[in-house]
Amino acid sequence: ETGVTQSPTHLIKTRGQQVTLRCSSQSGHNTVSWYQQALGQGPQFIFQYYREEENGRGNFPPRFSGLQFPNYSSELNVNALELDDSALYLCASSSPTSVQETQYFGPGTRLLVL
């Protein structure tokens, strides 16, 4: 177990709806990254938050947004859901105490958009 938790574990939404996914980082970690993993693919980087500020973003549209709270937990919000948003959403926490920090992943939230 990594100490990174995510909720909910599963979610079903319909096209056009909005969704919020949550992540609690491992104790002592102040950086959270979010990834989207489609079936049969590797995770794709969405964005990273460090000390409540966005600290890097992948090739995802603005309807993917996030927040990080003072306790370093984080939310991923997706507006105007599309069918292609169906995927496993993973968050990972890390602590930039060295040049290369290891990311520890949560179990993921599986989102299905109908």
Partner 1 sequence: SQELEQSPQSLIVQEGKNLTINCTSSKTLYGLYWYKQKYGEGLIFLMMLQKGGEEKSHEKITAKLDEKKQQSSLHITASQPSHAGIYLCGADDNNNDMRFGAGTRLTVKP
- Which residues have a Cβ under 8 Å from the Cβ of 98 and sit 6 or more positions away? none
- How many residues line the site for partner 1 (CB under 8 A)? 27
Q: How many Cα neighbours within 13 Å face the side chain of 92?
A: 19
Distance CA 31, CA 44 (A): 17
**Which residue stretch of 13-21, 65-73, 77-85, 88-96 sits at the interface with partner 1 (rule: CB under 8 A)?**
88-96
Q: Please, what is the Cα angle at 44 between 47 and 59, to 5 degrees?
A: 60
Distance CA 64, CA 96 (A): 24
Contact string 33-72 vs partner 1 (x = CB under 8 A) = x------xxxxxx--x-x----xx-x--------------
| Residue placing its CB nearer to partner 1 in the complex, 20 or 44 | 44
The least CB distance from residue 77 to partner 1, in Å, is 19
Residues at the site binding partner 1, with contacts judged by CB under 8 A: 2, 4, 6, 33, 40-45, 48, 50, 55-56, 58, 88, 90, 92, 100, 102-108, 110
